[in-house]
Chains A and B, each alone.
Chain A
Amino acid sequence: ETGVTQSPTHLIKTRGQQVTLRCSSQSGHNTVSWYQQALGQGPQFIFQYYREEENGRGNFPPRFSGLQFPNYSSELNVNALELDDSALYLCASSSQGQGRSYYGYTFGSGTRLTVV
């Protein structure tokens, strides 16, 4: 059973640029959530994707967007990067739907984004 894989592991971007982060969900999971974790803080929920549609969103502006693909992998896109976007971006996969057992979210190790 493979876990959650995120790429890249580290990234440096310039303010104003756009970035795409990628996540491969754990085998058997159909839902992907994205979290932003600033230094010294707990992760903050960005949004969740289920059946290729956004299924809940936290307090993040529209320049944060995402996609989920038929194989349940996902992308997080951030446009017009700001310095405050520097953070660890975490992807978490899980299962939902009737008849599925709940074992909690499986998190990836994250992508460390630095905006300069």
Chain B
Amino acid sequence: DAKTTQPPSMDCAEGRAANLPCNHSTISGNEYVYWYRQIHSQGPQYIIHGLKNNETNEMASLIITEDRKSSTLILPHATLRDTAVYYCIVRVVPPNFGNEKLTFGTGTRLTIIP
């Protein structure tokens, strides 16, 4: 079962910052928070991940609360191409960068409005 809770849908005006929340109140100390998105008819695309510090890359920023029970993905200047389903996932990354399965929930359907 997915360990995260996300709103089913959100709208955001084009050019504005899109803030997507995620609750993961049962997260363990060794679990990371990952965000993926899935644009219609494509496979999920990795966006960003973090453990406890805020992270930023060319796509987005990830803000994780101090107690790590929730996080927010921020798309700073949303465009129409950001319309997609966004998945928040928690998972363990073993020390040797081994692989574990990704447990997806139903995600948040983000619609960018012109």
Chain B residues closer than 8 Å to A31, beta-carbon distance: 99
Docked-complex contact A102 and B34, CB < 8 angstroms: no
Contacting pair B97 A104 (CB below 8 A): no
A104-B49 contact given A90-B43, A96-B96, CB 8 Å threshold: yes
**Do A95 and B43 touch (CB < 8 A)?**
no
How would you classify the secondary structure of chain B's contact residues: helix, strand, loop or mixed? loop
Identify the closest chain A residue to B96 (Cβ). Answer: A98
One of A13-21, A43-51, A66-74, A76-84 at the interface = A43-51
Q: Is the CB of B106 within 8 A of A41?
A: yes
A30 to chain B, nearest CB (A): 10
CA distance A31 to B35 in the complex (A): 20
Contact A50 B99 (CB under 8 A): yes
The residues in B between 21 and 45 inclusive whose CB is less than 8 angstroms from any CB of A are 34, 36, 41-45
* Complex contact B102–A45 (CB within 8 A): yes
Asked if B105 and A102 sit within 8 Å, CB to CB, the answer is no
Contact count band on A: 20 to 34
> Which A residues are in CB contact (< 8 Å) with B81?
none
Tell me the smallest distance from the CB of B48 to a CB of chain A, in Å: 9
Closest Cβ–Cβ distance, residue B50 to chain A (whole Å): 12
A109 touches B97 (CB 8 A): no
Given contacts A92-B43, A104-B49, A107-B44, contact A42 B107 (CB under 8 A): yes
Q: Are B34 and A104 in contact (CB under 8 A)?
A: yes
9 smallest beta-carbon distances between A and B, as pairs: A107-B43, A42-B104, A104-B46, A45-B101, A102-B97, A96-B98, A96-B99, A107-B44, A43-B104
